[in-house]
Structure 1
Amino acid sequence: MPEKYRDHTDKYCKRVLRLYFMILCLWPTVIVAQLTSPLSFSPRQQVLYPVPEGVGDAWMEKAKGFDTYSENELVQKIACYELAIPLYKMAANRLKQAMALQMLGDCHNHQGMLPPALSELEEALTIYKEVQYPALQGIYDLLGNVNSQMGNYKTALKNGYMAVKTAELQQDTTLQLCTIYNRLGLTFFHLAEYAQALTYFKKSLEVAKKWKDTASLLTLVPNIASAYQRLNQPEEAIHILKDMEKRYDITSDEDKITLAAGLSNSYVSMGRYDDAYIQVKRLQSLSRSFGASHYMQDAIYKALISYFQAIEDYNSVKQYGIDYEGYCKQAGYTYELLNDYGYLFRADSALGNYPAAIDYYQQYKVLQDSLYSEEKTREIAQLQMQYDMEKKDHDLLLKEQSIQLLKRQGLLQKSDLQRARLEGYVIIGGTTTLAILLILGYNRYQLKQNINRQLRRQQQEIHEQHNSLHVLLYTQRKLVAEKDWLVNEIHHRVRDNLQIIMRLLNAQAAHLDDKNALAAIHESRHRMQAISLIHQKLYLSGSMAIVDMDIYIRELVAYFKDSLTGLQQISFDLQIADVYLEVCQAVPIGLVLNEAITNSFKYAFANGGKGAISVNLHYVAEDYVLLAVKDNGKGLPADFEKRRHASMGIILMETLSEQLEGDLSVKDENGVSVTLIFKPQHNREKLPGLLKLVNKTA
């Protein structure tokens, strides 16, 4: 609001307040009685003394002068509404009381104080229903938005649908419909129904374009870009964001943050980290313009954490993740807190902080189960199906009404035509012509009736096919979810069984004195750990069959450093390309790597001296992968060929290379060099880009 108008509003409010305070002084007895015991006055008596209602109106008018998007002015706006509500209650004006509660709840929503916002909005809805206020689309929309942010998705979806339904009944085509569609789209976005979210975002965009509302357009375009990004279309997201930047003069810091965050997330999805870094620096600079609890910090945190996760800067992920955790808890953002626990778990896992990682993973699972339990998912699907069916019934009813109207119009037109013709025939006395026209009219009527019957049959068939398709899609989604759960559970059980075997080996080792037997048990335990680590990766990742060898080999080497005493003196040079293997090939590779590193530790650096071991995994030729493990130790013994067939490690590596249908060679080249060349079961081109990104950040 311009400063001159705000000054004018303040002067007006001060005059109104001064007038009512004078009235208070003139009627002290009545006002004191109302303030101390308002219930002792009947509604008729309260109407005779409208002083509290007038003062409440003054506070409501003063609240309009404060900017909702300014943190300091928002506090003053909230204070005005809090003063107006009890005054309206005292004056027994329930409608104004509900309106003030709705405005207060909206302000608390902007402030990020979701629990009080929910309580105030629910109280406002109750009062609206008591006074039978019909235009409830606004309050339903706000309730849907607050519940969505708190993770109450079933209630949020129900309120969103009620907002759309009420707006349609009220024939509301204002900008409020734009907000309703946008917030319903956000609820579907949190439910990972990105196609459905995109549909509602586009509906909202059409309303904003109709009203030429630039502020709404600058909000909706980044939402649409986020949906395209989640639908694996980052190029489309970047295109519409760049188009928005060219079309509109983006001056506010809020819109700059929204644009920069959208571009950063899209660039990260495409692996364009240099372009993303430019947007990250811009976000870090803009973040200083707002308080730590401002609602725009949400978009900044998510973009920064996503970028540092992608470039594997886990210290930064940890730092921003902890700050974001406090922000989400203070505001009550459940969906964002769930994602943040996932980031903190991956960061602590990569940094080796396994106790903290386990704690964050447990919190992640508890929160995930509370938000996306099977029962809640089924209820939400049923609610969505019910809404779709009601909407289609409503559309069919409208079509039927349109058909009935057309039929009535046709009958009226036909009647007029017959009357006109009848008059003409009477004038010319053509009784024969009149009979012919009546027959033709009857034939046309029969033809139209036949056409209408065919249309009704076709509509019925379409309706039945649509219902069958809905049931089929729901069943298919349920089967896919059950399959994913079963595969996930298999990897979980395999990993747990391997851990049990390792504990049994440890327990057996505790009762053995034979050094050879102890060594054999320790080697077996390392082999089990190599296999267990693969199943752990598969269980925690989004893919159930593909292993990112870069992350797997690095974690396997980290395990050796922690478990083999003396290995800390040996440096590792890891040159690992972006290689993704299926489980049937990743397990043999892990075992070969285990044997090679263990042999280097046992024989090449037997005296505990310093040394280096290099591990190289990359593509060679077109469709082959090379695994090379080399140390700079004392090399092979002179009688290596004689002992070759007696060495369990060499026999195991040769057997594993045969299983991979690859070529294994062990050479003495300034140390021992173990080389394995094999062909993966899939080509690099067949791996989708999104799967690579997910595995890279798992």
Structure 2
Amino acid sequence: MKHRGTFFYFQVRLLTACLLVFYTHIAFSQQSLKQLTELRTQLAQNPSGTKEVDLLLKLSEYYLHKPGELTTDMDSAQLLLSQANSLNKELQYSKGTATALWLQGEIYHEQRQLEKARQMAERALSFSHKNKLAEQEADSYMSLASFYSISTEADLQRKITYYRQAVSLLESTQAKLKTAQSLQYLGDLYNVKDDYDSSLIYLHKSLKLFQESKHKEQQGIYSLLGYVYTQKGNYFLAFKYGLQAARISEDLHDTSPQMYTIYHRLAALYHLTHKDSVAYTYFSKAIKVAMTHRDTAAIIDIRFSQIFLLRKLHKSKESLAILLKLHKDYAPTDSTLLLNSCYAFANIYMDMKEYKKARLYTNKLLEYNKTTLNNVTINVYPFRTVTRLNFETKRFKDNYPYLKAYDQFLRYKFKDRGNLLADNELCWARTDSATGNYQSAFKHFQIYKEISDSIHSAENEKQLAALQLQYDLDNKEKDIQLLRKEGIIQNTAIQKEKVTKNIVIGGSVMLLLLLGLSYNRYRLKQHSNLQLQIKQAEINEQNELLKKLLSEKEWLLKEIHHRVKNNLQIVISLLNTQSAYLNNEDALQAIRNSQHRMYAMSLIHQKLYQSENMASIDMHWYIQELVLYMQECFSIHSKIHFILDTDSIQIDVVQAVPLGLIVNEAVTNTIKYAFPDQKRGEVRISLKTTSLSLCQLTIKDNGIGLPAGLDIENTESLGMSLMRGLTQQLGGTFQVNSQNGVALQITFEINRELGHGGEQPI
């Protein structure tokens, strides 16, 4: 029983808190030598007046925020500020005076003269407010906020209050870039406070201003948005913004310290979504940036994340070696890092079945944690590690206090993180089962399933609500039509009665005859109308029953596809678990190939239960997602370039399964054999309709081609045999060409009949 889900949350959390310092005055911290030259040129061209004051202050601020801590830079900043102050006295320039007061406070702050810095910031605030200088007043509020930390609730709230005042002032100015930076900082403060909804409001406002100001360096705001959406459990948007941050950074060749946070957050996100190979790649990128900047805290945090991931990949010895070297090189003394070390040592030794050593470190974890088990703010590491050790050493009853405390902790601190709650409920169910308390085990397992299926349940509720709405609308329409029919029948009856009266008046003899005839016809009509109404009622009842049966059938089909997809995913997971116990590379390769094939089938069933149309699949989107999955599995994003040219073709499940397996086999063979020795290449995948019912799939690469002398028609290759067999199942033709690479072409007739015979694959 291995509890590992929350570790990355706390590791990335540490880096997030450290990043706050980079947002303040970021525009001047990134000034280049070219910008400095431009400022000096402008100063030479404007030797007097208020423009000279503004330029002197900008130069002073440049030297103040210049990277590094050189005394000469601080002296230059003070000298330029003094020159600006001299001109201010002559010109009585209020904006320059307010900026100078604020800048003097910043210099004091940099020189660690904190009391003088605070006094100067308060003077700048008072002067700016008095002279209605909104931007300078906002700068003063942000300076005052810098005197408060984020380590206590009171300081954090005070910091947020000052920044909200600053943002309110900046929004009334034309300083879009500074407003965007302040909103980003404020959003991050709410993120630290765990108020993710408020954080997202300010971050999206910030992003909009960054885009309006056409500021290129937007990677920080995108990364932070991705991180907050990760905490909200919205992994789709987390990936969207996180990957955008990485793309912007790499396009701009960003080498600043924020790069290791961008990569670290992405790595943690890939880990949460079980894409561990991609996660390890991003961890490697993060550690490379951190080591370039010699940032010890970041190096230690990322190393711990790498250790954790190696454990998950069943590389216990490698993770232990990195942990021992980390202690040798850096000797962590901070309480949080010591807690991480004990957590890592305990779990690694449990992975290696050395439970006595693991027990030593779990005891240390409990010593570091001085709070009681009933305190919901208890640290997550001790009881997660202790419950695992108790389970593996069969001390099941000792787990209950920790499980209860962990449940309280999650429901108080992370109530939005359903995956963590589900994980703890599953652990509780296993512990109850091990102690023979099957009723409680079943109860906790039910809670686990309810939380796990909550997303799907919400979707079902939406679908049912939509069906109910459509049902109500149809019923109203039928009522209107029925009333119209009854009105027509009544009008007809009235007309007939008038005719009858006229006939009666026509003659006494004819009156009796016609009256009798009319009465007889009237009774027959009444009887006919009654029979028609009964038949209509029966038809309406049958229609409603058929609609209900159709609705239930559609729901059942969706549920079947959902279950089939889940079962295939379970088989994939079981194969993955089995592969950990195999040393034979051929067997491992066979298992991986089987996993890819099962995923190709699983993706089809996923598309079916997510789609309103359960009769067919849009192969355009299916092939895109399948190829993306293959890229991630083999980590070949930069090595092999895929060009997809696929029409939006609807194909039923009977043909979609073999077609998906053919694409899987062809792409797998191309990745493995077409580009040896890290050779770069290109793969084109085309799916087109050549006529009304014919469809043609083409997969072509520019790799090394098939081996010379290979008899394609008589080869015993499993992949080639499988593709030929699947082509026969499609009722199509199979062609392979090996000129300038390998080109595979399959032509088949699209089945347009929904009720065709044959066995439907699952």
TM-score (norm 2): 0.45
TM-score (norm 1): 0.49
